Amino acid sequence: MNSGQTAASMNVVIFGATGMVGQGALRECLLDPDVRQVLAIGRRPMGRTHEKLRELVLPDPGDLSGVEPELRGLDACLFCVGASSAGMNEESYTRLTFDLTLAVARTLVRLNPGMTFVFVSGMGTDSTERGRLMWARVKGRTENALRQLPFKRTYMMRPGVIIPLHGIQSRTTWIRVLCTLTRPFHRGLRTLLPNHVTTTEILGRAMIAIARHGYPRWILETRDINTAGASERSH
């Protein structure tokens, strides 16, 4: 622990901080007084600065061999990289999901065995790895492989519908359009479907909460995410 760092403070690394989920995680980390430093790693620059924020732009975020000295002393990884499976075969989707995640995780656990690893998966992920939906099988295989690594703790976030807040937008065109069209109904959706709908703010807070305090289950469905995020709001 660095001099002056409190027992509750954390050094956090975020992968995928330019995506919708990653933007939410980054925002909440920068606002949280107990998150001491944030390291964001991705393929493209974020175009923002903050006293707590460091950024590494890498052509291949799965190859961390050249930046390992920057990766020590981390308490939590929020892995928010997500790729749509639309139009992709299983081999390509596996490369972007399973291979990338495990390459990062294996490096981080070697350098930070006391780390908590939080993986943003998705509602409907198939833990058996044998279902008919390709993306769900690959996500399930990724979750299962992460559980075998010797992290202090690993958690899988399986959100359903995610409503972006605070000016955050998805890079995926159809998701941006859908969010715009449904904006008048967002509050109602959250009230009517609390087990299926969350927000970027709550999801970001939930990731910080479970990294800091843990959670009774290693798979968090939307209702768990909302519970953990609400508890962190009152922290």
Which pLDDT tens digit goes with each residue over 179-224?
555 565 556 666 766 667 999 999 999 999 999 999 999 999 999 9
**3, part of any domain:** no
Question: pLDDT tens, 96-111?
Answer: 999 999 999 999 999 9
How many Å apart are CA 96 and CA 62, to the nearest integer?
A: 10
**47, part of any domain:** yes
Number of domains forming the structure of the chain: 1
**52, part of any domain:** yes
**132, part of any domain:** yes
Domain that holds residue 29: 10-160+199-233
> How far is the first Cα of the chain from the last one, in angstroms, to the nearest whole number?
22
**175, part of any domain:** no
The CATH number linked to 228 is 3.40.50.720
Ramachandran class of 5: left when φ > 0, alpha when ψ lies in -120 to 50, beta otherwise: beta
**86, part of any domain:** yes
Name the pTM for this structure. Answer: 0.88
Long-range Cβ contacts of 227-235 (<8 Å, 24+ apart): 229/198, 229/201, 229/202, 229/203, 229/204, 229/205, 230/202, 232/205, 232/206, 232/208, 233/202, 233/205, 235/34, 235/209
**173, part of any domain:** no
**205, part of any domain:** yes
Ramachandran class of 42: left when φ > 0, alpha when ψ lies in -120 to 50, beta otherwise: beta
